[in-house]
Amino acid sequence: MKIRSLKAYKRSLALKKPYTIARDTFYNTENIFFEIELANGMIGLGAACPEGAVVGETADVTIKNLESDEISALIGKDIREFKGLISSVSGYYGRFPGTMAAVDIALHDAFGQFLDIPVVDFYGRQHQKMLTSITIGIKNVAETIEEATEYYSQGFKALKVKTGLDPQEDAERILKLRERFKDHFSIRVDANTGYNIDELAQFLDLTKDSNVEVVEQPFLPGRDKDLLEFTPELRKIFTADESLTSPATALALTKDMPYGIFNIKLMKCGGICPALQIADIAKNATIDLFWGCNDESLISITAALHAALSCKHTKFLDLDGSFDLAEDLAEGGFILEDGYLMTNNRSGFGLTKL
């Protein structure tokens, strides 16, 4: 089945409410959408939301790449060769993970529809559903409790709390969450590279009885070995994020084992194919998987879910990016039920374009 046409376009999507991390405050998000139409009329949907501060690619760069002659060369190619097509595009745009993610996701969706099978089942489903966390940005204690109460009423059972500005205030928020909700929530924290060694040590000491199950990238990339100052037991919950951008960086991070968990984001590594390469590296190093996201369309969130459910060593999901959007360009994809995410078991990614 031949590829008949391609279409790329950019949309600025409003967030339901702004949120703050250690690096910035966000009010909207620019997403790139990419469509691949097959000769039979099936349309594979792809999307990208690259974070320039982490991967050095902006939405404007992504859209320019997707409109290039190199991408246009996909027209007339056979969708059954989708992995080879991804590899071919990587030869031109392998340094642009947003570009690669949009192409990779759209090709996977088109191929899954052509084969009439969910993408996760093509790779081999290992999980039927998994709990996802939902994120609370950096806020004061009262606002943190208020937002957590909202998520409690919606049935969520895992929180990811943004930290990294002040370890004492960060710890107070965690302690108050535990005081208010007891053990209802699993609690994960994300410092977004905001701590130094002493600040991380202070935060960990203050929250040592709070059962924090994940601490995402506390230090800047390049300072990963500073985590070796902490015990092997503590390092099991340390999670590589900003430092983990490709299979090559994944391999490098298995040396000395500063992290016990890898946070895989399709927007960092460039789509499902490199994500599963990272997953294989982690598996051989006995490192658990945590699948994360930016503020993304449910198109790319669903793609990440399919990849995550195909890996036996996936332990955590943080695929809540589309929940933050006040608007989107597709629906379907996944089902959210009592805090758990599952696929809708339709072909491809089970998406419907709005």
Read off the pLDDT of each residue in 100-117 and give the average, rounded to a whole number.
Answer: 98
Residue 252: closest CA among 292, 225, 283: 225
> Mean pLDDT across the chain, nearest whole number?
96
Look at residue 22 and tell me whether its pLDDT is greater than 70. Answer: no
* pLDDT recorded at residue 27: 76
Contact between 49 and 296 (Cβ < 8 Å): yes
Look at residue 199 and tell me whether its pLDDT is greater than 80. Answer: yes
More confident residue, 56 or 329: 329
Torsion sign across C-alpha atoms 281, 287, 289, 293: negative
Q: What is the pLDDT confidence band of residue 23, given thresholds at 50, 70 and 90?
A: low
* pLDDT recorded at residue 16: 87
What's the CATH code, domain 121-353? 3.20.20.120
For residue 53, CA distances in Å to 24, 50, 329 come to 10, 9, 25
Read off the pLDDT of each residue in 44-51 and give the average, rounded to a whole number.
Answer: 94
The mean-pLDDT minimum among 50-59, 144-153, 234-243 falls in 50-59
* pLDDT recorded at residue 10: 96
Percent of the chain with pLDDT over 70: 99
Percent of the chain with pLDDT over 90: 93
Q: How do 43-48 and 25-38 pair as beta strands?
A: antiparallel
Cα(332)–Cα(319) distance, integer angstroms:
15
Look at residue 130 and tell me whether its pLDDT is greater than 80. Answer: yes
* pLDDT recorded at residue 225: 97
* pLDDT recorded at residue 195: 97
Read off the pLDDT of each residue in 270-278 and give the average, rounded to a whole number.
Answer: 98
* pLDDT recorded at residue 244: 97
Read off the pLDDT of each residue in 248-252 and give the average, rounded to a whole number.
Answer: 98
Residue with tokens 């489903």: 125
Burial class (CB in 10 A: 0-12, 13-18, 19+), 15: middle
Of the CATH numbers 3.90.550.10, 3.30.390.10, 3.40.630.30, 3.20.20.70, which one belongs to the domain with range 3-116?
A: 3.30.390.10
Q: What is the pLDDT confidence band of residue 194, given thresholds at 50, 70 and 90?
A: very high
Domain with CATH 3.20.20.120 in the chain: 121-353
* pLDDT recorded at residue 51: 82
Cα(30)–Cα(28) distance, integer angstroms:
7
Q: How do 25-38 and 158-162 pair as beta strands?
A: unpaired
* pLDDT recorded at residue 19: 62
Read off the pLDDT of each residue in 282-307 and give the average, rounded to a whole number.
Answer: 97
* pLDDT recorded at residue 53: 74
Q: What is the pLDDT confidence band of residue 262, given thresholds at 50, 70 and 90?
A: very high
- Write down the pTM of the prediction: 0.96
Domain with CATH 3.30.390.10 in the chain: 3-116
Torsion sign across C-alpha atoms 281, 236, 257, 138: positive
Cα(160)–Cα(191) distance, integer angstroms:
10
Q: What is the pLDDT confidence band of residue 38, given thresholds at 50, 70 and 90?
A: very high
Q: What is the pLDDT confidence band of residue 106, given thresholds at 50, 70 and 90?
A: very high
More confident residue, 333 or 55: 333
